[in-house]
Amino acid sequence: MSNKIRVRLADWQKDNADLRRIREAVFIAEQAVPPELEWDAEDAEAVHFLAFEGDYAIGTARLLTDGHIGRVSVLKDWRGLKVGDLLMRAAIEEAERRELKRQLLTAQVYAIPFYERLGFKVASGEFLEAGLPHVDMVRESA
């Protein structure tokens, strides 16, 4: 199945329905993140990514102008298929293309090993964000 999965840059305006559908399913419905915490002014300025199986959008991520990667989300039925890896690699490559040598993210504690495999290191103690335990992580590009 994973050979049919691809990631492309997304447009916040044109791809808004898919971006919102995925993030609402993962963060708001599954993880009970309040909608007012999920949507912010940074979405309009961010570089967005969408993962697709065929023509169906199944995952998303965003890159902010300061090198922060976030809102990494994959619909439940597609987890475990390396969709998150593809999204993160696309975001890291885009950050490096933009000469953002330092990539940052705030990770849910359960996801630390996933981000460590991609070269991120824990850079803070544990804290709560939207009621969920998180840590800050950083990755330095060569």
Beta strands in the chain (DSSP E): 5-10, 47-53, 56-63, 69-74, 102-108, 121-122, 127-129, 132-140
Among the listed residues 64, 65, 67, 79, the one whose alpha carbon sits nearest the alpha carbon of residue 25 = 79
> 9 in a domain, yes or no?
yes
Total domain count, the chain: 1
> 67 in a domain, yes or no?
yes
First-to-last CA distance in the chain?
A: 32
Half-sphere exposure of 73 (CA within 13 A, CB side): 22
Q: Give residue 50's domain range.
A: 5-100
* Residue 141 C-alpha from the chain's centroid: 18
Q: Which amino acid would we find at residue 27?
A: F
> 125 in a domain, yes or no?
no
Provide the residue-wise pLDDT of the chain in tens; the chain has 142 residues.
446 899 999 999 999 999 999 999 999 999 999 999 999 999 999 999 999 999 999 999 999 999 999 999 999 999 999 999 999 999 999 999 999 999 999 999 999 999 999 999 999 999 999 888 999 999 999 8
> 107 in a domain, yes or no?
no
DSSP string, 120-141: -EE-S--EEETTEEEEEEEEE-
> 66 in a domain, yes or no?
yes
> 128 in a domain, yes or no?
no
**Spatial distance between the Cα atoms of 86 and 72, rounded to a whole number of angstroms:** 11
pLDDT at 91: 98
**Spatial distance between the Cα atoms of 77 and 13, rounded to a whole number of angstroms:** 26
> 111 in a domain, yes or no?
no
At 82, which CATH number?
3.40.630.30
